[in-house]
Chain A
Amino acid sequence: DARVTQTPRHKVTEMGQEVTMRCQPILGHNTVFWYRQTMMQGLELLAYFRNRAPLDDSGMPKDRFSAEMPDATLATLKIQPSEPRDSAVYFCASGLVGGDRVGNQPQHFGDGTRLSIL
């Protein structure tokens, strides 16, 4: 079965350090999503890309977070500088979406990066 692959699975670092999370979407999927999951807030959409172009990053703190897709097989989410409140599980998901209606198809999730900022 095709899968979304995320690395690293776990990351522990100190406040102020740069954190980069990577995602390999399912081959052929044209839309990539980044989510953050916490106990308090649940699952929040941070940003998503269509055909590698950023479509919406309104859920992301702009001053410290950035998301890119250097090529069709790699999406990255970067936090610089990191803060303790960024501790969460970060999920990447991909899907094959037609048109602008990103919610009309299933999304396929990776197993996440569990991030702890000390």
Chain B
Amino acid sequence: SQQGEEDPQALSIQEGENATMNCSYKTSINNLQWYRQNSGRGLVHLILIRSNEREKHSGRLRVTLDTSKKSSSLLITASRAADTASYFCATAPIWGNNRLAFGKGNQVVVIP
């Protein structure tokens, strides 16, 4: 099944810096979603971007989608220690049963 693949897989930054993560996928999608997972907790939905959208914002988060390159990026601006978490992209393919396929995740550590 199709899965998103995040890059880089681990990122360590200073508080206040921006963090950028990328996700690549292989087939045509209906939408792409980003989730955050704090240690020992469940995934929390951050943003859903549809295939006809190119950019979406939510607070300090900015997501872009390039369907021609089959890639997406998640930018966290002015990072905080509380942003320390794993970030997953998930893709919903156009065909078949449309189930979400999750990537392996990016681990982001924000150093206070």
Q: Which residues of A contact B (CB under 8 A)?
A: 4, 42-43, 45, 48, 56, 91, 93, 100-112
Contact = CB atoms under 8 A, between A and B. Distances in A.
B45 A108 contact: yes
Given A107-B45, A109-B42, A109-B43, A43 B30 contact: no
Contact of A91 (B42, B45, B90, B93): B42
A111 B98 contact: no
A2 B98 CA distance: 26
A103 B43 contact: no
> Of B43, B98, B103, which is in contact with the most chain A CB atoms at under 10 Å from its CB?
B43
A94 B91 CA distance: 17
Interface residues of B, number: 25
A112 B42 contact: yes
B98 A107 contact: no
A45 B45 contact: no
> Of A4, A48, A100, A105, which is in contact with the most chain B CB atoms at under 10 Å from its CB?
A105
B68 interface: no
Interface string B35-69: 10000111111001000000000000000000000
B99 A56 contact: yes
8 contacts: A4-B42, A42-B105, A102-B97, A103-B93, A103-B98, A104-B98, A111-B40, A111-B41
